[in-house]
Structure 1
Amino acid sequence: MKTYKEARGHREDFTVKYRLYSPSEDGRKITFQHLRCDFMYESDDPMKGDLFMIHPEFLDERGEPIEEGVAVPLEGRATMWILNPEMRMSVHGSRARVGVRGHFMEGARKIGDVEIERIVGLHDNAIPRPSA
């Protein structure tokens, strides 16, 4: 499995504590690593397009990425990866802060709750890297 760090060549933007909804809460039946859900800040409205392409990479109890094909626990921690580099500072640089809450989204449907625990590379990742 190639981790997002290996694939993208930089550190995660931030880390979150998450809780995925169970099937009885209208959540997914099962979730695997590299789920391509969207992210929404708690105060935003998905019906107004307030969704962002920020993908999670779920971590095991040691803080390592969970392997492909292994079911992700309903609660845990994940690294978060902003896919649109132009939005790092223009949007997320001021909004993503420790303690900010949000949701994992599939379309307009919430599938989990998150709370930002740590800002990692958000500000450094926004600096353009020289071409090789």
Structure 2
Amino acid sequence: MNKLYDHPDAFEAEITIFTEQEGGRKTPPKNGIRWDLTYAENNPEGRMFMIWPEFIDENGDSIDTGVPVN
């Protein structure tokens, strides 16, 4: 696997990114974007976390920075 980020706090998750018609993004996401994350449950303090998601292809390799993810 070719990865952009190597960090001890890294984790893998499957996410859904809503389209503009669904009330979500107007443009497709890309590697290198920074998002604020909060948990829907078990977050009584309402804390936000900063994440830099890394999108990978079907082989587990990182998609080039700046390339839209479809």
What TM-score, normalized by structure 1, do the two folds share? 0.43
- Provide the rounded CA distance (Å) in 1 between the counterparts of 2:24 and 2:59: 25
Residue 20 (structure 1) aligned with residue 20 (structure 2): no
Q: Which runs of 5+ in 2 are unaligned?
A: none
Alignment: residue pair count? 66
1:42 corresponding residue in structure 2: 40
The structure whose Rg is larger is: 1
Report the RMSD for the aligned CA atoms in angstroms: 2.2
Tell me which protein shows more helix as a share of its residues. 1
**What residue in structure 1 maps to residue 4 of structure 2?**
3
Between the aligned partners of 1:66 and 1:11, the Cα distance in structure 2 is: 20
CA–CA distance in 1 between the matches of 2:9 and 2:61? 13
Runs of 5+ consecutive residues of structure 1 not aligned to the other structure? 74-132
Query: Runs (4+) of structure 1 moved beyond 4 Å?
Result: none
User: TM-score w.r.t. structure 2 length?
Assistant: 0.74
> Structure 2 matches for 1:1-132, cutoff 5 A?
3-5=4-6, 10-11=7-8, 13-30=10-27, 31-43=29-41, 44=43, 49-73=46-70
Percent sequence identity over matched residues?
38
